[in-house]
Structure 1
């Protein structure tokens, strides 16, 4: 057994002892074979050193490294293709005004990324090492991935899935024509500044107007993703009967990721708190059917997820009540905490999924 620095850890090392936070919460259990995402969890909790199993018969300092599973390799491939998608999206956005939008290149990379969708968990995914200035590109790609899944869950025809994904990827492309100082301004915006920000919907439609290999739904999503079903949205004040289906799907994904991704001036919010807010928004603002499908599907995937509660206790989701999907049952040190009954508690943070 060897005590090694977090900086020396690599995927495949096997923990010889449980790893706990300063408050005593379990982060990773003894015997865990570390995957790339586990290293991120350890860094997130500011763990400095861990105990790793030594090879039998070897001298001190020789640690035991298990064969990294196919799962770890697949996770690595997903992260690599995700990073390529971010780079391509950034380049496409920055050149869109002068050179148009390279739809075919974006579509090809999306198709590659979709091969790893089983490694994408909407509730727990957080881009590693995201730069502050790259928020908009991470938002575009995560909204695209989530919209692709939500299109399937909503029963849209298969021919629409990729188009919805492109709508998610390009919904905010109009921001390239907005003053970046306004987009990143931490202080409240003036009325005039708000009006300029709102122009990104019109700018986006104009940028996509002559783009090939996308349908009108993609263009309308750029224009309509801030419209509300009660007519209170912008830029046209459309009601639910006038908003394109793609825009209804993308707007749900966009709000979720806008609130759960880290920003320079705002910490990421708990996905479960955001889901509860989405549920509230479904009454008059967002398409209620789309919101309900989204909440039900993403919470179905959460059994086994490690979470931190608002009282700082760490536990694992063991049961999701169909009638209260945002308030599951949590196993905390062998005790079941039913969040449906204990309304004073909520899930503050998702740590990782099992």
Structure 2
């Protein structure tokens, strides 16, 4: 297991010890076979030497093997993704019916909703927050898509933050029904393409109280799921609505759904505003963590949704397409991107940002 200088590393060599960054993070893992991309990363981090086992397999064979694996993943992936999308579409149909009926509390088919949510959550491992796109999206259905996405994202945030498993479903239902009160708001206000008047804004804000009133007597929802409808626009510094309460009085579910709602409200197309880059939205959420959102939930959310995207193809704000090769835990929304042999460090190139994550 010789240690060799970087100039001596050959394509096809297999790394025998983890390669670390100057800050001690794993850059390349033990067992990784060196190809052109790996050499590029090593040079970018000015790594002087690495421990190698020598040629593991011919590079061509390695690439063929990887290609075979990728082919299998491509062949298998539509099966899993199709199941997620199928259950998502069924939830969309059910939620459209419920929202269009403007159901009274006793009329909400909560068991049908819960059963379909269980079916959807069976495929939660295939749901990736930064890259998931509904199969069919119409702007008039924004409220429905936002509700389903908030349910899935809230479920994960609760899971990531160590909530008891018995609460995960309730958090998801809180996310799903958080905007239920909007069914009682004039549609012309919800879809208005220009700024709302003071009167219209006050009317729109009523959806929080209306939603809570519609859900408060639903026995199969716990208090947190009901309060998510009332409190998802409250802010930890007391500047939110409808009550202007601070962190001490906002239920944890309300804090979680607030994060999910902001993220999806900004990354989904609306009739009056186009979707924003998810990475820019994450940066906005990080900024709002100082005084507006729960900082612990925000930190975990941003870390989790960005940590597994090394190797993901992205489109930058200047339209160039590249691949994420390294994510800095201090700046998770500004990774290093490889574009045609050059490394773009977005923590340095602040005028650029990731505009779009390209699903594989």
TM range (shorter): 0.7 to 0.9
Distance 1:197 1:334, change over 3 A: same
Given candidates 82, 106, 130, the residue that maps to 2:137 is 130
Distance in 1 separating the partners of 2:240 and 2:72 = 54
Superimposed CA distance per residue, residues 46-77 of structure 1 (whole angstroms, 9 cap, x where no aligned partner): xxxxxxxxxxxxxxxxxxx9997232111111
TM-score (norm 2): 0.78
Q: Which residue of 1 aligns with 2:231?
A: 224
Q: Do 2:179 and 2:207's aligned partners in 1 also have CA atoms closer than 8 Å?
A: yes
Tell me the CA shift for residue 32 of structure 1. 8.3
Superimposed CA distance per residue, residues 20-54 of structure 1 (whole angstroms, 9 cap, x where no aligned partner): xxxxxxxxxxx989x9xxxxxxxxxxxxxxxxxxx
Given candidates 101, 106, 109, the residue that maps to 1:102 is 109
Q: Give the SS at the match of 1:97.
A: coil
Q: Which residue of 1 aligns with 2:43?
A: none
Q: Do 2:80 and 2:123's aligned partners in 1 also have CA atoms closer than 8 Å?
A: yes
Q: Do 1:96 and 1:207's aligned partners in 2 also have CA atoms closer than 8 Å?
A: no
Matched, 1:142 2:149: yes
What is the 5 A alignment of 1:176-187? 176-187=183-194
Tell me the CA shift for residue 125 of structure 1. 1.0
Q: Which residue of 1 aligns with 2:344?
A: 337
Q: Which residue of 2 aligns with 1:77?
A: 83
If you compute each CA radius of gyration, which structure gives the higher value, 1 or 2?
2
Q: Which residue of 1 aligns with 2:327?
A: 320
**Structure 2 gap ranges (5+):** 1-65
Tell me the CA shift for residue 250 of structure 1. 0.5
**Structure 1 gap ranges (5+):** 1-30, 36-64
Matched, 1:170 2:174: no
Q: Do 2:102 and 2:184's aligned partners in 1 also have CA atoms closer than 8 Å?
A: no
What is the 5 A alignment of 1:33-44? none
Q: Please, which moves more after superposition, 100-109 or 219-228?
A: 100-109
Distance in 2 separating the partners of 1:184 and 1:166 = 25
Distance in 1 separating the partners of 2:72 and 2:331 = 40
Q: Do 1:218 and 1:246's aligned partners in 2 also have CA atoms closer than 8 Å?
A: yes
Q: Which residue of 1 aligns with 2:293?
A: 286
- Paired residue total: 294
Q: Do 1:103 and 1:212's aligned partners in 2 also have CA atoms closer than 8 Å?
A: no
Indicate the RMSD between aligned Cα atoms, in angstroms: 2.0
